[in-house]
Amino acid sequence: MRYPWANIALIILVIAELLTGYLGLTHSNPEWIGAMHLHRIFGFAILALFAWKSRNVLGSLRTRSNWRRSLNSMIWSIVLLLGLLIVLGLGLAWSHLGPYDWMGFSGTTIHMNLAWMLIPLLLWHSFRHRISLRTRYLVDRRHVLRVIGLAMAGFLAWRTAELTGILAAGPGAERRFTGSYPENGTDFPVTMWLNDKIPTVDASTWRLSIDGHVESPYWMGIDELQTWGDSLTATLDCTGGWHTTREWHGVPVSQLLARAKPKPGAGSITIRSRTGYFRRYSLAEAERALLASRVDGEPLSAGHGFPARMVEPHKRGYDWVKWVDSITVNQTGKLWQPPLPLT
């Protein structure tokens, strides 16, 4: 080949995989289903690229001069190659063979974390082959056609795998568009983000404060919270790989804010947990949210967020803050926080 088109295709496809995977990780709204479909298509396209390129890779590994000339580069290239194959294999296994876990971590969690760990190697690989990223190479008609061909191969392989699983009634047919599997029992798993632990909350002294950039800050106790009976049927979709649709009961966040009267210039709210964990919502997201005190008619258990947790149908589970004890109205927007929680 005149130009190393496979390197260009690999870099483009892996970057696309990371971006679409991130969108799937941060959105529970079915409107984002296209991102997860593309994520799977690009994964199969990478496998198709490996199938084509494997002969060249093996030839390079058998060439002794390559090892003598750049031993470290060869080793790290192999690590990147094996890492990509493992990440793709874990994703395929989760999608089509059913849920699994290892040492307390679900297969999808391992898949995602390994993918993030490969980013430094991908950046190094891109820099090493930066000559391939010159504009005249990227817009070369043959390169564009080959990448389109890989994408088509990925699409056909993805649809074949999906239809085979559905026709065979395989476990993968039950998963949600995010890749999560259903938890439909009387209860559902208790999970925390990173180092959060279940706190002990004394119901008699618990208070919820609503303050910040508002005209009328106030607080409420548990008795007042439990008088609210608004309901919302919403799907809790955990990044650990499971989802459950429940009926949640509590008070709409919009009504709490209406009582506090946000001042002009309000841009977001911060929902803070007794543990110190917090997430920001835009005001539009707050309109959809419910501060729940019960689920399926029963009071929240300690593990599920007693006495109050957030419910927002368009968000993943890590945004459903548990053990809420304050809501603060901010003058800044929701983007003034990490895209994913760091603590």
* pLDDT on residue 31: 86
Per-residue pLDDT tens for 183-235?
A: 988 899 998 887 788 999 999 999 999 999 999 999 999 999 999 989 999 99
- Cis geometry, peptide bond prior to residue 264 (ω within 30 degrees of 0): no
What is the bridge-based pairing of β-strands 230-238 and 278-282?
unpaired
Segment 113-120 shows an average pLDDT of 91
Per 3-state DSSP, what percentage of the chain is helix, strand, and coil (rounded to 5)? 50, 20, 30
- At residue 303, φ and ψ (nearest 5 deg) are -70, -25
Residue at 24: amino acid letter: G
Cβ-Cβ contacts under 8 Å for 26 (sequence gap 6 or more): 316, 339, 340
* pLDDT on residue 319: 95
* pLDDT on residue 2: 45
Segment 92-105 shows an average pLDDT of 92
Lowest mean pLDDT among 150-159, 212-221, 299-308: 150-159
255 vs 146, residue with greater confidence: 255
Q: How confident is the model at residue 179 (pLDDT cuts 50, 70, 90)?
A: very high
Q: Does the pLDDT of residue 3 top 60, yes or no? A: no
* pLDDT on residue 110: 94
* Alpha-carbon span 334 to 155, nearest angstrom: 35
* pLDDT on residue 70: 78
Q: Does the pLDDT of residue 148 top 60, yes or no? A: yes
Q: Does the pLDDT of residue 1 top 60, yes or no? A: no
> Which tokens hold the place of 191?
């999970």
Per-residue pLDDT tens for 228-249?
A: 989 999 999 999 999 999 999 9
Per-residue pLDDT tens for 38-63?
A: 999 999 999 988 877 777 667 677 77
Helices (H), the chain: 5-26, 33-62, 64-69, 71-97, 107-117, 119-128, 135-138, 141-167, 222-225, 253-260, 283-288
